[in-house]
Amino acid sequence: MTRLDGVETADVSLNEGRVHIEFARQNAVTVGQLRRTIRDQGFSPKDATLTLSANIVIRDGVILAVVPGSEASYTLTAEGEVRTRLTNAAGTTVTVQGHVGADEGEETPTRLEVTHLSGG
């Protein structure tokens, strides 16, 4: 994992079936690249929790998080107050945390179910 440009550290626990990855501030690594790397190592990617700083954009009624300095973008889904805050954050940079399902990440943009939002 640390061979991917933009990955600073990767702590792998085979017993727990988890990897904790820390990225460089300006990285261009996508969920799809990470999942391909995991598969190339003979493992199956699982659900993931992501925290990222991104610009919020609304296109055709779809809320997107566009990561500065990267080709990565995420289609954001959220409920209630978090969705309202995301909509109101359009045009700003925020930090979002959310869940990416095991089957997500091969296509761009990846769907991210937002659970927490700060900034904006």
Q: Could you tell me the pTM of the whole model? A: 0.80
Confidence band for 107, pLDDT divided at 50, 70 and 90:
low
What would the pLDDT profile of 53-105 be if each residue is shown by its tens digit? Answer: 899 999 999 999 998 877 778 999 999 999 999 999 999 999 999 988 877 66
Q: Are 100 and 47 in contact (CB under 8 A)?
A: yes
Delineate the domains of the chain, giving CATH numbers in brackets. 7-119 (2.40.50)
CB 58: neighbour CB atoms within 10 A? 14
Bond from prior residue into 109 cis (ω within 30 degrees of 0): yes
How does 82-93 read in b/e, with b if 16+ C-beta sit within 10 Å?
beebbeebeeee
